[in-house]
Amino acid sequence: MSGHGVFFWNELLSEKVDAARRFYEATLGWTFDEMEMPNGGTYLVAMSGGKPVGGIIPMDASMPGGDTSRWFAYIAVDDIDARIAGVEANGGKVTNPPFDVPGVGRIAIIEDPSGAPVGWMTPAQSET
């Protein structure tokens, strides 16, 4: 796993997925792998040099931060269930309790005391 407490993954939440895809293909040379999401829709895994570097997800009203396209960051944690227990005691808010994403890891969405949303995740163990 990547180190505890480091930014691990970034996603673009967008209403204009096709435009964003074309932009990053043209400007950064990213390619994209498509992954069907369990609740419908397609998640785009951005690839650079054959390695995943981020994702693009279709935005909906339930996502944190309003209705404007934006990047959303995830921080790696060593044990999401243990770490999430201290969020509210330290002035934060758990907006989406921990949930599993098969092959990806265990994720929770929180707001820090300033109101900024961020994802925390314990990445799935890689098979190396």
Q: What total number of domains does the chain contain? A: 1
Give the pLDDT confidence of 39-56 residue by residue, as tens digits: 788 999 999 999 999 999
Q: Please check whether residue 113 lies inside any domain of the structure.
A: yes
Assigned token pair, 107? 């994720």
Q: Please check whether residue 117 lies inside any domain of the structure.
A: yes
Give the pLDDT confidence of 66-105 residue by residue, as tens digits: 678 899 999 999 999 999 999 999 999 999 999 998 888 9
Angle at 44 between CA 39 and CA 49, to 5 degrees: 150
Which domain range does residue 61 map to?
Answer: 7-123
Q: pTM for the complete prediction?
A: 0.82
Q: Please check whether residue 45 lies inside any domain of the structure.
A: yes
Q: Please check whether residue 128 lies inside any domain of the structure.
A: no
Q: 120 near 72, Cβ under 8 Å? A: no
CATH classification at residue 50: 3.10.180.10
Q: Is 50 exposed, middle or buried (0-12, 13-18, 19+ CB in 10 A)?
A: exposed
Q: 33 near 47, Cβ under 8 Å? A: yes
Q: Please check whether residue 1 lies inside any domain of the structure.
A: no
Q: Please check whether residue 2 lies inside any domain of the structure.
A: no
Q: 71 near 10, Cβ under 8 Å? A: yes
The H or E element containing residue 84 is: helix 80-84
